[in-house]
Amino acid sequence: MASESYPPLLRPPVLNHPHLDPKPNPTSQDSSLRIPVIDLEVLDPAALDEACREWGVFHLVNHGVPPSTLAQLRDLAAAVFSLPFETKRESFTSPTSYFWGTPVLTPSGSPLSRSSRGINLLEGMNFPLRQLPSLDSRLPLVASFRDLLLEYGLHMGRIATSLFQAMAKILDLDPEHYSGQLSESTGFIRAYRYPRGLASGSDEDTPGLVAHTDSSVLAILLQNQVNGLEVQKDGVDGWIPVDPVPGALVVNLGDMMQALSDDLYKSVNHRVRSPPPREESDRISICYFVFPGEGYVIRSSKYREFTYEEFQAQVQRDVKTIGEKVGLGRFKKQDAMS
């Protein structure tokens, strides 16, 4: 374990943190439940519609991102995460950011953060794609990672736009508003590392990222071959694993997509478990998020009018005051709350 890549408070022998929740909800053992697979090259509107209505998450194949690019991105991310903690903290400053637990360190400086739902035990780097070219690094490894992220971001914008336009057509959204409903200029990439064996407890009880929904329109995830991502589905008890599929990306819908669809499509509730000690490597994931355009007003029969900026401001207030995100429930129309 490359302990020097962790903050000082998490370096061995401090493996037994008192704030870790050792009893997450159980994972569903129903092997018949399989995450849908959508083929972007031969897109089936009926299959896409069913995946969005019933699941809010799906594997995406034939997406057009070269396998060599995916492999290189995973390898570079792992190498960057292995750098000393102090080096990463100094290298990833504005416009990027570096964090443990949440996108910002807690005021106390602790690398762990708690919500009312539990603890987040992960490391991350945040890259706003529009500003990423201005990241200047003297480290060749970081510069290579930046350049590859910019290339990967172009693929993500293409995929997100194609998927959203297909969804919007199914939902009969106004094509004149597509660019406002999903704006590539808002895209950012967040890279995560979930260290293996860092927390105590049984192999199945290691927390990583607590249950939540994403605030975005869409999120597109590249994960390595280490399991950990789990989702919930209406009518199913427990959590359903989203096991990695070689060459596939994972697409999940966020709160903005649910609002735009009048609740027809699901903003999927999901969580991540950190890998247990028996795993050979940490879990690494790279996630692209994209949002409505700045100032775009979301109008829905289920929700009062709001912009993403208003939504995010409310989320931040809720996190500060009650310790967790409430999300779309804050914007629900009274007559739609039955």
CATH of the domain at 178: 2.60.120.330
Structural domain contains residue 11:
no
For residue 221, being part of any structural domain is answered with yes
Query: Rounded CA gap, 84 and 5, in Å?
Result: 4
| Burial class for 138, CB neighbours closer than 10 Å (0-12, 13-18, 19+) | exposed
pLDDT tens across the length of the chain (338 residues)? 457 887 776 665 444 444 444 344 555 545 457 999 999 999 999 999 999 999 999 999 999 999 999 999 999 999 999 999 999 999 998 899 998 876 533 333 344 555 545 567 889 999 999 999 998 888 999 999 999 999 999 999 999 999 999 999 999 999 999 999 999 999 999 999 998 876 554 445 567 888 999 999 999 999 999 999 999 999 999 999 999 999 999 999 999 999 999 999 999 999 999 888 888 899 999 999 999 999 999 999 999 999 999 999 999 999 889 888 999 999 999 876 55
Residue with tokens 């370096």: 11
* Cis ω for the linkage preceding 95 (within 30 of 0): yes
Residue 150 domain flag: yes
For residue 246, being part of any structural domain is answered with yes
Nearest 5 degrees, angle CA 173-CA 175-CA 177? 85
Q: Is residue 247 part of a domain?
A: yes
Residue 182 exposed, middle or buried by CB count within 10 Å (0-12, 13-18, 19+): buried
Number of domains present in the structure of the chain: 1
| Residue at 211 is within a domain | yes
Domain-embedded: residue 171: yes
336 inside domain: no
Quote the domain boundaries for residue 55. Answer: 36-299
For residue 232, the SS3 value is: coil
